């Protein structure tokens, strides 16, 4: 039995990523998969690249009228609506941890007889995700941290300006180096440095010439808060928190450190301000591309202030590299969609369990 994959256009503003590249389309077609691609003027890969690869092109947003057997593939949320959903959908729905709106979304699937196969829940036997954007989240998060340090050094009373997606990593490195100018690269510490995001952060920091202290589980075994973090100008948090843990830094610790503190910016890639286990409990909400930083300590123009970058969709800022990497990880599993696999069956089970909780 062959599969019909339907790549929908993203409707979330600023989302340029795609889960399948034009080269991936060619490989899927060679394997007998049917591919339909919705036109999109914002996707990082252009319509004519998909058309040249052999995809059937259809108008933007046409997926609700796709044949019933089509599997609708995307990255982020579907447009808000209450229409029942009849297809199998593969994307990041952010619903299974009972996030805002989860009931309404799952009810749409239930009413329409569709299925939600969430990309976040495609996992191997060992629980590791088969495809993730983490490396590029760390890479971009560290860059945003460097830019925030450079901005603070100017002494400006204004917050750092908004960020826009970069065409590629070379431009991102050049922007960081230009922002630092003749100034030295910040001393940096990365927690979770052995993970996907952490290794991306370390790679960016090394590329801009910043000295990096790399910590993972072993170095934090004693439990926080850690004064060593305060001795670095930039702290990148890239830890995957899976349960209670002592915070890595606290407000009281930072205030008590006084002038002994060098820490000026935290790039919180893990970015979980609403979790009771947030190890960076210095801010209340995520930040955005438009307003990348939140002032955690100090006032306007205060040289001893501390800013936090907490953007929860960092890979969107480097859409080409992050899409190519993610799509390459996902492709083998798209090739297995027709016959099914433990990975797809596991994701379907997560969906069935969530439906049962409705
Ligand atoms: N902001 C974004 O846009 C964005 C995008 C993708 C992922 N993330 C988040 O980044 C975080 C990391 O994701 P990942 O894919 O890199 O995970 P990962 O599992 O690849 O890496 C996590 C690392 O954290 C380490 N770790 C866990 N507990 C630790 C502790 N107490 N002290 C020190 N190190 C510890 C692990 O050993 C591992 O090396 C997750 O919270 C994820 O949701 C954010």
- Minimum-distance ligand 1 atom for the alpha carbon of 194: 39
Domain that holds residue 29: 4-121+319-357
Rounded distance between C-alpha atoms, residue 313 and residue 77, angstroms:
12
The protein residue with its alpha carbon nearest to ligand 1, atom 11, reads 270
Pocket lining: 137 vs ligand 1, CB cutoff 6 Å: yes
Q: Which of 134, 223, 236, 311 has most ligand 1 atoms within 8 Å of CB, for mutation?
A: 134
The encoded tokens of residue 186 equal 């910040």
Q: Ligand 1 centre and the CA of 244: distance in Å? A: 15
Spacing, Cα 196 to ligand 1 middle (Å):
7
H-only helix segments in 208-271: 227-230, 251-257
Ligand 1 contact, 189 CB (< 6 A): no
Collect all residues with Cβ–Cβ distance below 8 Å to 141 and sequence separation of at least 6. 197, 200, 201, 236, 238, 267, 268, 269, 309, 311, 314
Q: What is the pLDDT of residue 99?
A: 82
Residues of the chain with pLDDT under 70: 1, 300-303
What's the angle, vertex CA 132, arms to CA 198 and CA 88, rounded to 5? 160
| Angle, alpha carbons 158-161-162 (nearest 5°) | 145
Is 94 noted as a catalytic residue in this protein?
Answer: yes
123 to 28, 69, 333, 349: CA distances (angstroms): 21, 24, 10, 12
Residues 255 and 312 in one domain: yes
Q: Assess if residue 129 is contained within a domain.
A: no
253, 147: one domain? yes
Q: Which of 75, 90, 130 is nearest to 329 (CA)?
A: 130
Q: Tell how far the Cα of 209 is from the centroid of ligand 1, in angstroms.
A: 23
CATH number at residue 147: 3.40.50.720
Question: Which residue lies with its CA nearest to atom 18 of ligand 1?
Answer: 195
What's the structural domain count of the chain?
2
Q: Is the shortest distance between the CB of 17 and ligand 1 below 6 Å? A: no
Clarify whether residues 282 and 156 are in a common domain: yes
Q: How confident is the model at residue 65, as a pLDDT?
A: 97
Q: Is residue 202 part of a domain?
A: yes
Looking at residue 301, its pLDDT comes to: 60
pLDDT in tens, 22-61: 999 999 999 999 999 999 999 999 999 999 999 999 999 9
User: What pLDDT score was predicted for residue 104?
Assistant: 96
Q: Is there a domain that residue 279 lies in?
A: yes
Pair 8, 38: CB distance under 8 Å: yes
Q: Are residues 263 and 154 in the same domain?
A: yes
If asked whether residues 203 and 102 sit together in one domain, one would say no
Distance, in Å, from the CA atom of 66 to the CA atom of 78, rounded to the nearest integer, reads: 15
Q: Are residues 15 and 117 in the same domain?
A: yes
pLDDT of residue 189: 98
Q: Is 19 in the pocket of ligand 1 (CB under 6 A)?
A: no
- Cα-to-centroid distance, 177 and ligand 1 (Å): 26
126 belongs to a structural domain = no
Closest residue CA from atom 8 of ligand 1 = 270
Residue 36: inside a domain: yes
219 is a domain residue: yes
Based on the fold, state whether residues 78 and 163 are members of the same structural domain: no
Pick the residue whose CA is nearest to atom 31 on ligand 1: 217
Residue 312 and residue 164 in one domain: yes
308 and 323 together in one domain: no
Query: In terms of Cα–Cα distance, which of 216, 245, 256, 249 is closest to 234?
Result: 249
User: Could you give phi then psi for residue 132, rounded to 5 degrees?
Assistant: -150, 155
181 within a domain of the structure (yes/no) = yes
Q: Is position 72 within any domain?
A: yes
CA distance 151 to 101: 37
CA distance 132 to 283: 26
Q: Mind giving me the DSSP string for 156-185? A: -SSPPPP----S-HHHHHHHHHHHHTTSPP
pLDDT digits (tens, 9 = 90+) for 164-190: 999 999 999 999 999 999 989 999 999
């Amino acid at each position: 039995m062959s599969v019909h994959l339907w790549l929908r256009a993203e409707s979330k503003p600023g989302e340029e990523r795609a889960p399948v590249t034009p080269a991936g389309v060619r490989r899927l077609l060679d394997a007998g998969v049917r591919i339909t691609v919705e036109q999109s003027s914002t996707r990082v890969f252009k319509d004519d690249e998909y058309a040249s690869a052999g995809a059937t092109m259809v108008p933007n947003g046409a997926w609700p009228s796709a044949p019933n057997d089509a599997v609708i593939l995307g990255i982020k949320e579907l447009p808000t609506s209450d229409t029942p959903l009849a297809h199998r959908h593969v994307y990041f729905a952010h619903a299974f941890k009972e996030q805002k709106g989860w009931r309404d979304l799952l009810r749409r699937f239930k009413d329409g007889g569709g299925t939600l196969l969430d990309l976040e829940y495609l996992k191997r036997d060992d629980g590791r995700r088969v495809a993730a954007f983490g490396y590029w989240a760390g890479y971009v998060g560290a860059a945003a941290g460097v830019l925030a340090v450079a901005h603070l050094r100017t002494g400006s009373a204004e917050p750092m300006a908004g960020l826009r997606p970069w065409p590629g990593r070379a431009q991102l490195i050049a922007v960081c180096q230009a922002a630092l100018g003749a100034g030295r690269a910040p001393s940096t510490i990365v927690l979770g440095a052995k993970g996907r995001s952490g290794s991306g952060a370390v790679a960016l920091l090394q590329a801009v010439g910043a000295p990096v202290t790399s910590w993972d589980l072993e170095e934090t075994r004693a439990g926080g808060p850690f004064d060593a973090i305060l001795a670095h100008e930039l702290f990148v948090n890239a830890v995957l928190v899976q349960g209670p843990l002592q915070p890595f830094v606290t407000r009281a610790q930072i205030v008590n450190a006084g002038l002994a503190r060098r820490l000026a910016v935290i790039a919180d890639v893990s970015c979980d301000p609403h979790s009771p286990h947030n190890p960076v409990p210095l801010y209340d909400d995520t930040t955005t591309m438009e307003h990348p930083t939140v002032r955690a300590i100090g006032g306007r123009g205060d040289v001893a202030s501390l800013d936090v970058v907490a953007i929860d969709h960092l890979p969107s800022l480097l859409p080409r590299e992050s899409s190519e990497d993610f799509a390459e990880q996902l492709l083998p599993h798209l090739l297995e969609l027709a016959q099914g696999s433990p990975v797809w069956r596991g994701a379907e089970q997560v969906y069935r369990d969530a439906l049962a909780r409705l």
